[in-house]
Amino acid sequence: MICAVAEAGSLTRAAASLRMTQPGLSAQLRRIETLLGGPIFDRGQAGAVPTALGELVLPRARAILPGIDGLLSDTARAARCGTAPGRVRLGSVGAPLLADLIVATKELIPGAEVTTRCQYSPSPLLDDLAAGRLEAAVLGDNPGHELPPREGVVLRPVVTEPVFALLPSTHPMAGREEVSLEELAGDDWAMPHPDSDRTREYWSSVFSRTGRQPHTPYEAEGRQLIDIVRAGLAVSLCQATYIEVAGVAVRPLAGNPLWYRHVLGWRRDGPPAAHADKIVRRVAAGYLATCASAPAYARWRRRHPGSLRLPE
């Protein structure tokens, strides 16, 4: 990424050459700069110009790239030749499909050593699939912000579900069957850090229809985000399958303005590819069981029969 930005002279052109979005590249570059201790580029109207630190980093980055390329090429070739037989590497975003994917993989590929790792954003998982570092993964995206196709990777949607509100149980709207996004827009919000999957971009575009953007003093993920909401400090959004815990309330959004699509991805030349249809069906069946255990979502589905279409 650093070399591409330096060569292109701008983040926009570098993102195009890397087949990434510009916000995604910006987010990745910020993480790299944090890791290395300072800005690598001065970004202005003249484009992206290396800083003094950047001038130190660039020659070393260029020097190690051939070695990294060779390592990836050799390990991918070794995997194709079967030097690591029976190993299936799975990845997942925070979604309720991973356990069913593991079970289906173990049942359909007996004796396979199944390993997993999780990321908040689907983008690095998709990169790993394309590079041969994963065989399959649970991914996700939003309408109008779908995951880009990648060579050698199959993307199969499982289901598109509504996004729900996550409220403190003491919130004035927690007693309602559904809540208004327009009314919630005036609250303080807790949201995950903007990442390369464009989720925050999608949320922002939907919020813009309410005429206001939420005030977001809290950036958090996972347990920390739940704790902030439980403490009554903020509201947030969650997947429809999220099961309420003490101190929080999960409520549908009136009019269903936000949606999330669960997607399975796998390599065309990987072990799961031969069983893809069966894996998708078994994961979809597991998703339905998860739906039934989430009370708010179960009530929503009863009010919206036929709204979810899953693979048969």
If asked whether residues 103 and 218 sit together in one domain, one would say: yes
If asked whether residues 149 and 245 sit together in one domain, one would say: yes
* Sequence letter at residue 180: S
If asked whether residues 136 and 217 sit together in one domain, one would say: yes
User: Tokens standing for 65?
Assistant: 């790239």
Give SS3 for 169: coil
- DSSP 8-class letter at 179: B
Classify strands 248-252 and 136-141 as parallel, antiparallel or unpaired. unpaired
Burial of 262 by CB count in 10 Å (0-12 exposed, 13-18 middle, 19+ buried)? buried
- Distance from C-alpha of 268 to C-alpha of 136, rounded to nearest angstrom: 10
State pLDDT tens for residues 237-282.
999 999 889 999 999 999 999 999 999 999 999 999 999 999 999 9
If asked whether residues 69 and 95 sit together in one domain, one would say: no
> Which pLDDT band holds residue 174 (cuts at 50, 70, 90)?
very high
Q: What is the CATH number of the domain that holds 68?
A: 1.10.10.10
Whole-number pLDDT of residue 182: 93
**Total tally of structural domains belonging to the chain:** 2
Percent of the chain predicted with pLDDT > 70: 94
Q: Could you tell me the residue range of the domain that residue 63 belongs to?
A: 2-80
Q: Is the pLDDT score of 83 beyond 50?
A: no
Decide if 110 contacts 103 (C-beta within 8 A): no
If asked whether residues 69 and 187 sit together in one domain, one would say: no
If asked whether residues 46 and 146 sit together in one domain, one would say: no
